[in-house]
Homo-oligomer: A and B are copies of this chain.
Amino acid sequence: MAGVSRATASRVFTGKARVSDATRRAVERAARQLRYVPNQAARSLVTGRTDTVALVIPEPVPWLFGDPFYPVLIRGINEALSSHEVQLVLLAPQSPAERERVERYLGRRPVDGVLLTALHERDPMPERLRERGLPVVLGGRIDGDPRLSYVDIDNLGGARRATEHLIQAGRHRIATITGPLNRVSALDRRAGYRQAQAAAGLPPLEEEGDYTPEAGERAMRRLLERQPDLDAVFCASDPTAVGALRALAAAGRRVPQDVAVVGFDDAALAATTEPPLTTVHQPIQEMGREMARLLLELIAEPARVGRRVTLATELVIRASSGGGR
Protein backbone atom coordinates (compact mmCIF):
# COMPACT_ATOMS: atom_id res chain seq x y z
CA MET A 1 0.00 0.00 0.00
CA ALA A 2 2.88 2.36 0.65
CA GLY A 3 4.56 1.13 -2.54
CA VAL A 4 7.62 -0.25 -0.79
CA SER A 5 9.01 -3.69 -0.07
CA ARG A 6 8.46 -5.57 3.17
CA ALA A 7 12.09 -4.95 4.00
CA THR A 8 11.63 -1.22 3.96
CA ALA A 9 8.40 -1.35 5.88
CA SER A 10 10.17 -3.42 8.51
CA ARG A 11 12.91 -0.81 8.70
CA VAL A 12 10.35 1.82 9.54
CA PHE A 13 8.86 -0.21 12.41
CA THR A 14 12.13 -1.34 13.93
CA GLY A 15 13.47 2.18 13.66
CA LYS A 16 17.10 1.09 13.58
CA ALA A 17 18.01 1.49 9.90
CA ARG A 18 17.87 4.72 7.95
CA VAL A 19 14.89 5.33 5.76
CA SER A 20 14.20 8.45 3.73
CA ASP A 21 11.68 10.78 5.25
CA ALA A 22 9.27 10.46 2.35
CA THR A 23 9.04 6.65 2.48
CA ARG A 24 8.86 6.67 6.26
CA ARG A 25 5.81 8.86 6.13
CA ALA A 26 4.24 6.79 3.36
CA VAL A 27 4.71 3.62 5.36
CA GLU A 28 3.36 5.17 8.53
CA ARG A 29 0.30 6.45 6.74
CA ALA A 30 -0.40 3.06 5.19
CA ALA A 31 0.08 1.36 8.57
CA ARG A 32 -2.38 3.71 10.15
CA GLN A 33 -4.99 3.10 7.48
CA LEU A 34 -4.53 -0.65 7.62
CA ARG A 35 -4.34 -0.60 11.43
CA TYR A 36 -1.24 -2.64 10.99
CA VAL A 37 0.84 -3.63 14.00
CA PRO A 38 3.83 -5.96 13.67
CA ASN A 39 3.18 -9.43 15.03
CA GLN A 40 5.16 -10.11 18.18
CA ALA A 41 5.62 -13.83 17.60
CA ALA A 42 7.06 -13.40 14.12
CA ARG A 43 9.35 -10.67 15.30
CA SER A 44 10.56 -12.68 18.27
CA LEU A 45 11.21 -15.67 16.08
CA VAL A 46 13.80 -13.83 14.06
CA THR A 47 15.25 -11.45 16.64
CA GLY A 48 15.32 -13.94 19.48
CA ARG A 49 14.00 -11.21 21.75
CA THR A 50 10.52 -10.69 23.15
CA ASP A 51 11.17 -7.30 24.77
CA THR A 52 9.33 -8.62 27.81
CA VAL A 53 10.61 -9.49 31.25
CA ALA A 54 8.68 -11.27 33.97
CA LEU A 55 8.46 -10.51 37.67
CA VAL A 56 7.53 -13.68 39.51
CA ILE A 57 5.87 -13.22 42.90
CA PRO A 58 5.34 -16.66 44.36
CA GLU A 59 3.56 -15.24 47.38
CA PRO A 60 0.52 -17.28 48.21
CA VAL A 61 -1.02 -14.94 50.71
CA PRO A 62 -1.21 -11.21 51.19
CA TRP A 63 0.28 -8.79 48.75
CA LEU A 64 2.07 -7.59 51.81
CA PHE A 65 -0.18 -6.27 54.38
CA GLY A 66 -1.96 -3.15 53.23
CA ASP A 67 1.43 -1.85 52.39
CA PRO A 68 2.45 -0.89 48.90
CA PHE A 69 5.59 -2.99 48.71
CA TYR A 70 5.00 -4.37 45.25
CA PRO A 71 3.61 -1.20 43.72
CA VAL A 72 6.76 0.60 44.79
CA LEU A 73 9.03 -2.19 43.62
CA ILE A 74 7.21 -2.29 40.31
CA ARG A 75 7.53 1.43 39.91
CA GLY A 76 11.28 1.11 40.36
CA ILE A 77 11.48 -1.71 37.86
CA ASN A 78 9.44 0.14 35.29
CA GLU A 79 11.59 3.18 35.77
CA ALA A 80 14.65 1.27 34.65
CA LEU A 81 12.78 -0.62 31.94
CA SER A 82 10.95 2.24 30.32
CA SER A 83 13.96 3.64 28.50
CA HIS A 84 14.45 0.28 26.78
CA GLU A 85 10.91 -0.32 25.52
CA VAL A 86 10.74 -3.49 27.55
CA GLN A 87 7.42 -4.53 29.03
CA LEU A 88 7.08 -5.96 32.52
CA VAL A 89 4.61 -8.76 33.15
CA LEU A 90 3.76 -10.20 36.55
CA LEU A 91 3.35 -13.85 37.27
CA ALA A 92 1.63 -14.55 40.57
CA PRO A 93 1.35 -18.28 41.14
CA GLN A 94 -0.99 -18.87 44.07
CA SER A 95 -0.23 -22.54 44.69
CA PRO A 96 2.57 -25.06 44.18
CA ALA A 97 0.79 -26.40 41.09
CA GLU A 98 0.67 -22.93 39.62
CA ARG A 99 4.33 -22.41 40.44
CA GLU A 100 5.16 -25.43 38.34
CA ARG A 101 3.02 -24.19 35.51
CA VAL A 102 4.79 -20.86 35.63
CA GLU A 103 8.14 -22.62 35.46
CA ARG A 104 7.08 -24.68 32.44
CA TYR A 105 5.75 -21.54 30.85
CA LEU A 106 8.97 -19.59 31.35
CA GLY A 107 10.94 -22.49 29.87
CA ARG A 108 9.31 -21.81 26.51
CA ARG A 109 11.02 -18.42 26.64
CA PRO A 110 8.08 -16.09 26.32
CA VAL A 111 10.27 -13.49 28.08
CA ASP A 112 13.85 -12.32 27.81
CA GLY A 113 14.54 -12.55 31.51
CA VAL A 114 13.06 -13.12 34.94
CA LEU A 115 13.00 -11.19 38.21
CA LEU A 116 12.24 -13.27 41.28
CA THR A 117 11.21 -12.08 44.73
CA ALA A 118 9.90 -13.47 47.98
CA LEU A 119 11.94 -16.61 47.74
CA HIS A 120 12.43 -19.12 50.45
CA GLU A 121 15.86 -20.08 51.58
CA ARG A 122 16.54 -23.03 49.29
CA ASP A 123 14.15 -22.45 46.45
CA PRO A 124 15.30 -24.42 43.39
CA MET A 125 13.36 -22.32 40.88
CA PRO A 126 15.98 -19.63 40.19
CA GLU A 127 18.70 -22.19 39.60
CA ARG A 128 16.52 -24.25 37.28
CA LEU A 129 15.59 -21.20 35.25
CA ARG A 130 19.22 -20.14 34.98
CA GLU A 131 20.14 -23.62 33.78
CA ARG A 132 17.63 -23.29 31.02
CA GLY A 133 19.56 -20.25 29.88
CA LEU A 134 17.18 -17.62 31.18
CA PRO A 135 18.74 -14.47 32.61
CA VAL A 136 17.60 -14.28 36.23
CA VAL A 137 17.95 -11.62 38.91
CA LEU A 138 16.76 -12.21 42.46
CA GLY A 139 15.25 -9.68 44.79
CA GLY A 140 16.74 -10.69 48.10
CA ARG A 141 19.83 -12.70 48.80
CA ILE A 142 19.88 -16.44 48.50
CA ASP A 143 22.73 -18.75 49.39
CA GLY A 144 23.25 -20.76 46.30
CA ASP A 145 24.99 -20.82 43.00
CA PRO A 146 27.39 -17.87 42.81
CA ARG A 147 26.39 -17.42 39.18
CA LEU A 148 23.00 -16.11 40.32
CA SER A 149 22.68 -12.33 40.41
CA TYR A 150 20.75 -10.61 43.14
CA VAL A 151 19.91 -7.29 44.69
CA ASP A 152 19.61 -7.36 48.43
CA ILE A 153 18.74 -5.00 51.22
CA ASP A 154 21.27 -4.70 54.03
CA ASN A 155 19.02 -6.52 56.47
CA LEU A 156 21.81 -7.47 58.80
CA GLY A 157 23.24 -3.98 59.10
CA GLY A 158 19.82 -2.42 59.50
CA ALA A 159 18.84 -4.82 62.27
CA ARG A 160 22.17 -4.30 64.00
CA ARG A 161 21.83 -0.52 63.97
CA ALA A 162 18.24 -0.74 65.18
CA THR A 163 19.31 -2.88 68.12
CA GLU A 164 22.29 -0.66 68.85
CA HIS A 165 19.93 2.29 68.91
CA LEU A 166 17.92 0.59 71.66
CA ILE A 167 21.07 -0.22 73.60
CA GLN A 168 22.30 3.38 73.35
CA ALA A 169 18.91 4.54 74.59
CA GLY A 170 19.71 2.68 77.80
CA ARG A 171 17.66 -0.48 77.28
CA HIS A 172 19.15 -3.70 78.56
CA ARG A 173 16.49 -6.35 78.28
CA ILE A 174 15.92 -6.27 74.53
CA ALA A 175 13.91 -9.00 72.83
CA THR A 176 13.27 -9.65 69.15
CA ILE A 177 10.35 -11.01 67.19
CA THR A 178 11.78 -12.57 64.05
CA GLY A 179 10.26 -13.11 60.63
CA PRO A 180 9.59 -16.59 59.19
CA LEU A 181 12.94 -18.30 59.57
CA ASN A 182 12.86 -19.98 56.17
CA ARG A 183 13.40 -16.55 54.65
CA VAL A 184 16.91 -15.29 54.28
CA SER A 185 15.79 -11.76 55.13
CA ALA A 186 14.44 -12.97 58.48
CA LEU A 187 17.65 -14.83 59.25
CA ASP A 188 19.76 -11.79 58.37
CA ARG A 189 17.68 -9.51 60.58
CA ARG A 190 17.99 -11.91 63.46
CA ALA A 191 21.75 -12.12 62.87
CA GLY A 192 21.99 -8.32 63.07
CA TYR A 193 20.10 -8.33 66.35
CA ARG A 194 22.36 -11.05 67.72
CA GLN A 195 25.53 -9.23 66.67
CA ALA A 196 24.47 -6.07 68.46
CA GLN A 197 23.39 -7.93 71.57
CA ALA A 198 26.59 -9.96 71.70
CA ALA A 199 28.74 -6.87 71.21
CA ALA A 200 27.04 -5.26 74.20
CA GLY A 201 27.27 -8.44 76.24
CA LEU A 202 23.50 -8.84 76.34
CA PRO A 203 21.71 -12.20 76.05
CA PRO A 204 19.38 -12.82 73.11
CA LEU A 205 15.64 -13.22 73.72
CA GLU A 206 13.79 -14.39 70.63
CA GLU A 207 10.35 -15.45 69.43
CA GLU A 208 9.49 -16.40 65.87
CA GLY A 209 6.84 -14.52 63.92
CA ASP A 210 6.00 -14.44 60.22
CA TYR A 211 5.96 -10.73 59.39
CA THR A 212 2.19 -10.44 60.09
CA PRO A 213 0.56 -8.45 62.92
CA GLU A 214 -1.26 -11.51 64.23
CA ALA A 215 1.92 -13.48 64.69
CA GLY A 216 3.56 -10.38 66.13
CA GLU A 217 0.86 -10.06 68.74
CA ARG A 218 1.12 -13.70 69.76
CA ALA A 219 4.91 -13.56 69.90
CA MET A 220 4.81 -10.43 72.06
CA ARG A 221 2.50 -12.15 74.54
CA ARG A 222 4.89 -15.09 74.76
CA LEU A 223 7.82 -12.73 75.31
CA LEU A 224 5.98 -10.95 78.13
CA GLU A 225 5.35 -14.28 79.79
CA ARG A 226 8.95 -15.37 79.46
CA GLN A 227 10.43 -12.08 80.60
CA PRO A 228 7.87 -9.70 82.12
CA ASP A 229 10.49 -7.02 82.79
CA LEU A 230 11.78 -6.66 79.23
CA ASP A 231 12.24 -3.02 78.25
CA ALA A 232 12.56 -3.13 74.46
CA VAL A 233 11.67 -5.24 71.44
CA PHE A 234 13.07 -5.23 67.92
CA CYS A 235 10.42 -6.43 65.45
CA ALA A 236 11.51 -7.87 62.11
CA SER A 237 8.78 -6.03 60.22
CA ASP A 238 6.46 -3.09 60.70
CA PRO A 239 3.28 -5.20 60.69
CA THR A 240 4.91 -7.36 63.34
CA ALA A 241 5.52 -4.22 65.38
CA VAL A 242 1.87 -3.26 64.99
CA GLY A 243 0.89 -6.59 66.50
CA ALA A 244 3.45 -6.16 69.27
CA LEU A 245 2.04 -2.70 70.09
CA ARG A 246 -1.41 -4.23 70.41
CA ALA A 247 -0.16 -6.92 72.79
CA LEU A 248 1.76 -4.36 74.85
CA ALA A 249 -1.28 -2.11 75.11
CA ALA A 250 -3.39 -5.07 76.18
CA ALA A 251 -0.81 -5.90 78.84
CA GLY A 252 -0.87 -2.35 80.12
CA ARG A 253 2.70 -1.53 79.12
CA ARG A 254 3.39 2.03 77.98
CA VAL A 255 5.40 2.60 74.79
CA PRO A 256 8.08 3.87 74.88
CA GLN A 257 8.22 4.49 78.64
CA ASP A 258 8.00 0.85 79.74
CA VAL A 259 8.94 -0.89 76.48
CA ALA A 260 10.64 0.63 73.44
CA VAL A 261 9.60 -0.78 70.07
CA VAL A 262 11.46 -0.72 66.76
CA GLY A 263 10.20 -2.10 63.46
CA PHE A 264 11.66 -2.80 60.04
CA ASP A 265 10.43 -1.72 56.56
CA ASP A 266 9.43 1.90 57.05
CA ALA A 267 6.04 0.94 55.66
CA ALA A 268 3.43 3.64 55.28
CA LEU A 269 1.70 2.40 58.41
CA ALA A 270 4.84 2.98 60.51
CA ALA A 271 4.21 6.72 60.64
CA THR A 272 0.58 6.30 61.67
CA THR A 273 0.88 3.93 64.62
CA GLU A 274 0.38 5.16 68.17
CA PRO A 275 3.08 6.12 69.01
CA PRO A 276 4.75 6.54 65.59
CA LEU A 277 7.16 3.71 64.95
CA THR A 278 10.94 3.90 64.90
CA THR A 279 11.90 1.61 62.05
CA VAL A 280 14.51 0.69 59.46
CA HIS A 281 13.91 2.22 56.05
CA GLN A 282 14.58 0.03 53.03
CA PRO A 283 14.95 1.57 49.57
CA ILE A 284 12.35 -0.50 47.74
CA GLN A 285 12.05 1.59 44.62
CA GLU A 286 15.81 1.68 44.23
CA MET A 287 15.84 -2.08 44.65
CA GLY A 288 13.42 -2.45 41.75
CA ARG A 289 15.47 -0.10 39.63
CA GLU A 290 18.67 -1.99 40.38
CA MET A 291 17.08 -5.39 39.72
CA ALA A 292 15.90 -4.25 36.31
CA ARG A 293 19.28 -2.72 35.51
CA LEU A 294 21.09 -5.93 36.33
CA LEU A 295 18.64 -7.98 34.33
CA LEU A 296 19.02 -5.80 31.25
CA GLU A 297 22.78 -6.16 31.54
CA LEU A 298 22.43 -9.89 31.80
CA ILE A 299 20.15 -10.05 28.79
CA ALA A 300 22.59 -8.02 26.72
CA GLU A 301 25.52 -10.13 27.87
CA PRO A 302 24.30 -13.55 29.01
CA ALA A 303 27.76 -14.96 29.73
CA ARG A 304 28.19 -12.42 32.47
CA VAL A 305 29.02 -13.81 35.88
CA GLY A 306 26.61 -13.33 38.77
CA ARG A 307 26.54 -9.84 40.19
CA ARG A 308 25.50 -8.95 43.69
CA VAL A 309 24.29 -5.61 44.93
CA THR A 310 23.41 -4.73 48.50
CA LEU A 311 21.52 -1.54 49.20
CA ALA A 312 21.95 0.38 52.40
CA THR A 313 19.16 0.73 54.97
CA GLU A 314 18.60 3.67 57.24
CA LEU A 315 17.25 3.98 60.77
CA VAL A 316 14.22 6.28 61.01
CA ILE A 317 13.78 7.41 64.58
CA ARG A 318 10.25 8.18 65.77
CA ALA A 319 8.58 8.14 69.17
CA SER A 320 8.17 4.39 69.77
CA SER A 321 11.81 3.94 70.75
CA GLY A 322 11.91 6.86 73.14
CA GLY A 323 13.29 9.45 70.76
CA GLY A 324 16.69 10.45 69.36
CA ARG A 325 19.94 8.78 70.22
Residues of A at under 8 Å CB distance from B?
35, 37-45, 50, 52, 54, 61-63, 65-68, 70-71, 74-75, 78, 82, 85, 87-92, 94, 97-98, 101-102, 105, 107-110, 131-132
Instruction: Summarize A's interface: helix, strand, loop or mixed.
Output: mixed
Contacts of A85 in B (CB 8 A): 101
Distance in Å from the Cβ of A85 to the closest Cβ of chain B?
A: 8
Residues B50 and A41 in contact, CB atoms below 8 Å apart: yes
Residues A90 and B89 in contact, CB atoms below 8 Å apart: yes
Q: Do A62 and B52 form a contact, CB below 8 Å, given A87-B105, A110-B40?
A: no
Q: Given contacts A41-B44, A50-B110, could you give 18 more A-B pairs where the C-beta distance is less than 8 Å? A: A35-B131, A37-B107, A37-B132, A39-B45, A39-B108, A39-B109, A40-B110, A43-B108, A52-B110, A61-B68, A62-B68, A63-B70, A66-B66, A78-B98, A82-B98, A87-B101, A90-B92, A110-B110
Return the chain B residue nearest A133 by Cβ: B35
Return the chain B residue nearest A91 by Cβ: B89
Contacts of A39 in B (CB 8 A): 45, 108-109
A-B pairs, top 5 by smallest CB distance, nearest first, are A66-B66, A41-B44, A90-B90, A40-B108, A89-B89
Q: Jot down 5 A-B pairs with beta carbons below 8 A, ordered by A.
A: A35-B132, A39-B109, A54-B89, A62-B71, A82-B101
The residue that A102 contacts in the complex, of B35, B71, B87, with Cβ under 8 A, is B87
Distance in Å from the Cβ of A62 to the closest Cβ of chain B?
A: 6
Return the chain B residue nearest A87 by Cβ: B105
Distance in Å from the Cβ of A113 to the closest Cβ of chain B?
A: 15
**Interface-central residue, A54, A63, A89, by most chain B CB under 10 Å:** A89
Contacts of A94 in B (CB 8 A): 71, 74-75, 78
Contacts of A105 in B (CB 8 A): 52, 87
Distance in Å from the Cβ of A53 to the closest Cβ of chain B?
A: 11
Contacts of A35 in B (CB 8 A): 131-132
Contacts of A67 in B (CB 8 A): 66
Contacts of A107 in B (CB 8 A): 37
Q: How far is the CA of A41 from the CA of B105 in the complex (A)?
A: 12
Residues A68 and B78 in contact, CB atoms below 8 Å apart: no
Contacts of A98 in B (CB 8 A): 78, 82
Return the chain B residue nearest A51 by Cβ: B105
Contacts of A131 in B (CB 8 A): 35
Distance in Å from the Cβ of A105 to the closest Cβ of chain B?
A: 5
Q: How far is the CA of A62 from the CA of B63 in the complex (A)?
A: 10
Contacts of A66 in B (CB 8 A): 62, 65-67
Distance in Å from the Cβ of A104 to the closest Cβ of chain B?
A: 8
Distance in Å from the Cβ of A216 to the closest Cβ of chain B?
A: 15
Q: How far is the CA of A165 from the CA of B66 in the complex (A)?
A: 30
Contacts of A54 in B (CB 8 A): 89
Q: How far is the CA of A90 from the CA of B78 in the complex (A)?
A: 14
Q: How far is the CA of A108 from the CA of B42 in the complex (A)?
A: 10
Residues A68 and B63 in contact, CB atoms below 8 Å apart: yes
Return the chain B residue nearest A75 by Cβ: B94
Return the chain B residue nearest A59 by Cβ: B71
